[in-house]
Amino acid sequence: MTSKDKIVARARTAVVRRMDPLAAKRAATLAERRNAGIAAAPEVAAALDATAAIAVRDLAHRVRTGATDLHDQAALAQLVEAYLTHHPADTLPHGVAQAVARSFEGLWQPVGEPVSEPPPFIRDVIRDQFHRLYYHVSKRTWKDTWYRGVRTYKCPTDMWIYMELIDELMPGLVIETGTFRGGSALYIADRLETIGAGNVVTVDVNEPPKPPQHPRLTYFTGSSTDPAIVAEIAAMIPQGSPVLVILDSDHSRDHVYAELEAYAPLVPIGSYLIVEDTNVNGHPAAPDFGPGPMEAMWDFMATDPGFEVDARCERYFLTQNPSGYLKRVR
Ligand SMILES: C[S@@+](CC[C@H](N)C(=O)[O-])C[C@H]1O[C@@H](n2cnc3c(N)ncnc32)[C@H](O)[C@@H]1O
């Protein structure tokens, strides 16, 4: 019997005996490691996926037969989460989804009394599931978000954080890579106008069809990593002023890494560099994206100890930039 067979056999036995906490723990560990970008050995990953799939099937059976009295709701939630890291959500039987929703309620309000915050694991599951809902129903969320009539691919909770950072930093220059229609650049220009300081520069390989105009806003056309463009932008930074850099152009790992190398040196201590869309490649959205901003950020942070993740910028739970708000601390 291979190790995979052994784990699957154990999972099957566990299902017969209702729920095996060890199987649940293993499946949850796999989910956590995936979320952290750590790959498990293929046979272990396959076995754990099978564990989660079997548990979900078992759960479907229990829902069908009315035996939904689950003795360990946390283990259930962990198994379903593990299952969803590798299976499309629409393969989760409807009855199971309802049972899971009910079990979340039970966990959050264990004695019928609202508590201030759910347990961390449940909180993270709810956050990630809502994130996936928000991200994957994109036509009514981030692809239908507008600022003063101009489209922007931003999440409103992130836009609010940008406003707070601008108020706090009072940057002399905000540098945005990836203009798209110019909605985010216009938003930033307006925020700078309200504090009466600073300018914003935005660079894109494509010129926006109707670039919104603002006295504090400058457009560049070209690649964000073109050394000539980087040098021109660097020259626009008022001496000694705080800087806010927002990387939101080509989201492949290699391009973002090159942007980090180009723009991180422009960020003084106390200022911020935001790596956008770290949520793709399964963090927790778009699992098939491939190495992207999160992977670039990890690789960069391993070589440059000057930045720290500012988790406070993620306090609204929903952010398209998980671990992407970097503050220069040294
Ligand atoms: C996600 S969109 C930007 C969204 C915009 N910041 C907003 O929030 O509305 C990405 C943009 O990056 C641009 N882009 C792709 N590769 C680029 C590169 N090498 N340099 C600069 N921009 C690039 C694309 O043309 C696209 O408009």
CA distances from 245 to 106, 166, 234, 265 (A): 43, 11, 11, 11
For residues 207, 211, 215, 221, the Cα torsion angle rounded to the nearest 10 degrees is: 0
Residues 194 and 95 reside in one and the same domain: no
- For residue 154, give the ligand 1 atom closest to its CA: 8
Tell me which residue has its CA closest to atom 18 in ligand 1: 223
- For residue 224, give the ligand 1 atom closest to its CA: 20
3-state SS class at 114:
coil
Within a domain: 176 = yes
Residues 204 and 318 reside in one and the same domain: yes
Contacts (Cβ under 8 Å, ≥6 apart) of 162: 154, 187, 188, 191, 246, 274
Instruction: Report how far Cα 65 is from the mean position of its chain's Cα atoms.
Output: 37
Phi, psi of 196 (to 5 degrees): 70, 30
Give me the mean pLDDT over the 147-171 stretch: 98
Residues 51 and 200 reside in one and the same domain: no
Identify the pLDDT of residue 189.
98
Quote the ligand 1 centre to 179 CA distance (angstroms). 5
Does 246 have pLDDT greater than 80? yes
Range of 156's domain?
Answer: 146-328
What CA–CA distance (Å, rounded) separates 108 from 47?
Answer: 30
Residues 199 and 98 reside in one and the same domain: no
Tell me which residue has its CA closest to atom 21 in ligand 1: 204
Tell me which residue has its CA closest to atom 22 in ligand 1: 204
Does 127 have pLDDT greater than 80? yes
What CA–CA distance (Å, rounded) separates 183 from 238?
Answer: 24
Residues 292 and 158 reside in one and the same domain: yes
Tell me which residue has its CA closest to atom 15 in ligand 1: 250
152 lines ligand 1 (CB under 6 A): yes
For 105-118, write each residue's pLDDT tens digit: 555 555 555 556 77
Identify the pLDDT of residue 299.
94
What total number of domains does the chain contain?
2
Within a domain: 108 = no
Angle at 277 between CA 290 and CA 29, to 5 degrees: 60
3-state SS class at 174:
strand
Give me the mean pLDDT over the 202-212 stretch: 98
Give yes or no for a contact between 207 and 222, defined as CB atoms under 8 angstroms apart. no
Residues 59 and 177 reside in one and the same domain: no
Say which residue, 306 or 63, is predicted with more confidence.
Answer: 306
Residues 171 and 278 reside in one and the same domain: yes
3-state helix, strand, coil in the chain (%, to 5): 50, 10, 35
Spell out where the chain has E strands.
146-147, 150-151, 173-177, 199-204, 217-221, 243-247, 272-275, 307-309, 325-328
Mutate to test the pocket of ligand 1, among 138, 146, 248, 260 (most ligand atoms within 8 A of CB): 248
204 lines ligand 1 (CB under 6 A): yes
Residues 188 and 94 reside in one and the same domain: no
DSSP 246: E
pTM: 0.75
